[in-house]
Amino acid sequence: MSNLKKVLLEKVSCKSIWFMRQAGRYLPEFQKIRTENPDFIKLCLNSELSSEITLQPIKRFNLDSAIIFSDILMVPYALGQNVFFNKNEGPELSDHQLDSFMNVSEKNFSDKLSPVYKAIEITRKKLNKEKSLISFIGAPWTLLVYILKMKKNKNEINIKVLEDSNLKLEEIIHKLISCLCLHIKNQINAGSDVIQIFDSWAGLIPNERINKLCYLPNAKIVDFCRENKIPTICFPKGIGEKFKEFNEIVRPDGINLDQHIDPLWAKSNLKNVVIQGGLSPDIFFKSDKEMISEATKYIETFKGLPYVFNLGHGLLPETDPDKVKRLVNFYRSY
């Protein structure tokens, strides 16, 4: 059993390190592939290249876990929306068509994402058996932000979209949960052994809606995973001290802190869960001394507890791979 899976299932202290967005934009070997493959969705559907990208940081840093190179928006893509990635602006989806969205069959959904599952199969065969292979999904709320074009900028959404009387929000969420559970099952069957659930926009949900839009949808997916003995890590980014309530309601195996959560607060308030991450990705832009000092704070805070060393957000494009290497070496030798 891999270190990560052991930590999550058995709640034991065991050295485990990986980074969100470790496969991708900051690595020169990825940039070369990306230059030759400008269509991001097509790249995600290229099983051989997706697997190669997934393994690049493992070859470079010997991390404990690989996370499959894909995107949370592959799900709306499989549900009939076109997905475009505009440079410096982020993803953009075509208009949501409720009828076609609701009528996508399980077979058509799985068939459209079969290259993703093939990439997982290829990667699992090439990956050391002692290392975990992580797959992931976007939580229903975060997908809704993109599906319904609610995003205004990095810190603001148009919540009024939800007031449309013709929206049929509950039906859409139900369909998303069903397809996300199918996507999880397919990824696990292909060779993944851990699922991370990214709720990247959770911090922008109004208080009066957070139970319905964040806690309950995440809980339903985690319950599905628990019934199928699939380890889960949830990342409800930006919800502050609501992490405690989220953890108590959703009950994931692991929970990823964002960089705004005080690790001492997390240690005191997040119970019966494996804590992951928390370090700001900005530590790679500081001196080595400052980087090591910040990392030490997290290691010491969670010493003796089941903790997975990671970040509070994904690696940034400007990150120097050599700094990542020095942090990994420090953690290994600590």
Measured distance CA(218)–CA(205) in Å, rounded: 14
pLDDT in tens, 244-263: 999 999 999 999 999 999 99
Q: Note whether 187 and 194 are within 8 A (CB).
A: no
Total tally of structural domains belonging to the chain: 1
CB 22 within 8 A of CB 311: no
Considering only residues 89 and 4, tell me which one the structure prediction assigns the higher pLDDT. Answer: 4
Residue 133 is part of which domain span?
Answer: 3-333
Could you tell me how far CA 5 lies from the centroid of its own chain?
16
In whole angstroms, how far apart are CA 304 and each of 1, 137, 150, 267?
Answer: 20, 30, 42, 12
CA distance 132 to 18: 10
Does 152 have pLDDT greater than 90?
no
Write down the pLDDT at residue 165. Answer: 74
pLDDT exceeding 70 applies to what percent of the chain? 100
pLDDT of 111 above 80: yes
pLDDT digits (tens, 9 = 90+) for 279-321: 999 999 999 999 999 999 999 999 999 999 999 999 999 999 9
For 176, the enclosing helix (H) or strand (E) is helix 169-190
0.95 exceeded by pTM: yes
CATH of the domain at 269: 3.20.20.210
| Contact of 275 with 310, CB cutoff 8 Å | no
pLDDT band for position 154 (cuts 50, 70, 90): confident
